[in-house]
Structure 1
Amino acid sequence: MTHTTLVTSIDESTGKTAITLALAQLAREGGESVSYMKPKGTRLQSNVGKTMDDDPMLARELLGLDAEMHEMEPIVYSPTFVEQAIRGREDPEELRDTVAERFDSIAADADHVFVEGGGSLTTGGIVDLTDDQIADIIDARVVLVATYERPSDADDIIAAADRLGDRLDGVVFNLVADANFDALETDVVPFLEGRGITVYGVLPRDRDLAGVTVGELAEELAADVVTDVPTDGYVERFSVGAMGADEALRHFRRTKDAAVITGGDRADIHTAALEAPGVRCLILTGGHRPSGSVVGKAADKGVPILLVQTDTLTTVDRAEKVVRSGRTRDAETVATMRSLLADHADVDGLIGH
């Protein structure tokens, strides 16, 4: 009989891909034949979904799978698909049948299928294909990936547990900052376990998984890089330049591995940011090109300038999602996640042994 584990998360960008593939590798090393599926492809390079999600491609490579992309990822959950679904041009019943058929095909020769959820737990609701609904279709046990910053985050976990019901096998916390580790392990984990929710592990935030390079950030934001300097520096946080220049300089000097996001017309802020040693790049919003002197100074300091068309608030929101997810997904990322799971989680429990 085939075992099926679906890995979902409360929010987007929580490390689902790395966790799903790391667990699949560990199960395979334990003697199981494994396969992979991501019913809803959500990591797309184009609105119409012509470019496939990278995650199944990585799964094929790391797990040595023969399945075709359209089998592993039957629904391309692109903005165009969503628009068509809202207009009633997608049939939820047909989509459910497609998911079930593809799953049966993928599961035919596998002891254990690892299924990656799409986006967040509720992604797919417009076509009745949220992750809990998919778990029902394919009869999967569910591992919930969560992050933790404050005690009230437990509300979301309780709500997700209620939604998943008996399908929920347990929770893994990922990307947990050092400052939040003790409160989570001392207070929140026992609280959740007292409510009947198993916590399989608390994984610390790892530099290799948490940060993204300036180049990756530029790609994800569709930014125009206006400087000719290396873009391999790491960004872990953002600083918004919305204050006076003197205050900005004091603020920027206290930060490290930061990208400063500010309007392209704020030359005073650009100059202040370029004086601070912890600033890895400038992200200038609103499509305003900086002055030649700012570009020249940035080139001298080796600090890339990224130009985006969106406003500052939208840019901050998008950039934070990118950094939260540590967008690089490759063999090295999965290897790092395997080490984290081995050190900080009950791997046998997660695999269902």
Structure 2
Amino acid sequence: MQVFAFRFLVLVAWLVFSFTGNASAQPWQSTDPASSGWSVDGLKEAQDYAVTLKPTAVMVAQDGKVIASWGDLSRKVNVASVRKSLLSALYGIAVSEGRISLASTLADLGIDDKPPALTAAEKQATVRDLLMARSGIYHPAAYETGDMRRNRPERGSHAPGTFWWYNNWDFNALGTIYRQQTGEDIFQSFAQRIAAPIGMEDFSARDGRYIAERQSEHPAYPFNLSARDAARFGQLFLDGGRWNGRQIVPASWVKESTTAYSATDRGSMGYGYLWWTLNPEVFGPGAALASGYGGQAIAIVPSKRLVVVQIVDPAQNAKGVRTSNFVNLLQQIAAAAP
């Protein structure tokens, strides 16, 4: 009876968070950049550059405090492929709890897709291969861009684990595997396991949805996030997965997922477990980026103790912001930081 009562209370708490957001959320604290050693002129130059890009919001935090912000920080926007880095954090928790094994193959997990179905060779791809975008499975996928469809390698052209390609099939199948192995909905899980513990102010489980397309049985899972909530997620990773003394995501996973395992087609950027890595010669060791189409970005720069977030609402800026422009902005902000 006591167990039932406990589970009932947990369910009630989850329902309240899912539909109303986090009642215990704490607003960000701000600090004066000049008194913190920032170059005020350098920060102004970065802001002037950001204005030309027309983002919806930019937020700069150092040591967990807001240094500068521009735009509507509470506006929730579809952050596109940032969803993948959010899922990576949930994988870190599930792996640490023994609910998912990185060594499991798709054959082990019973993962397939609509005709033309996966081959026996493709089913030898592991969960880790998918996290690294190295599955070698080039089946049509949901939520692909035109470039993805046009540039997709031929089926069977690369064995699992041998070749990096930014592949929505991998990312969507990881969503299916997460739901299958944990028995949890992605958005409810994120709300309970990450958003609530770190005090996100705006996110609720209703801010995610599944997008299925006829060519694949694995749906995409886009999230809507505000800039100030996205910055909390960045701060969580900057702090090695800890929040207010509590380990939310294993520190080992934070390090592993933001380590470059592959060179990419984006110049000096590498790829970890659903995270992009940034040039260490420019940003120092451990710098990483969660990046989404149209200019959605959460960047962490450990050498400067920085989190920088940009969101772009297509209703306000249909052309979006190129990733290279955001990286230029990030470089200007980092140069202004003490």
User: With structure 1 as the length reference, what TM-score do the two structures score?
Assistant: 0.22
User: With structure 2 as the length reference, what TM-score do the two structures score?
Assistant: 0.23
Higher helix share: 1
More contact order relative to length (CA 8 Å, sep ≥ 6): 2
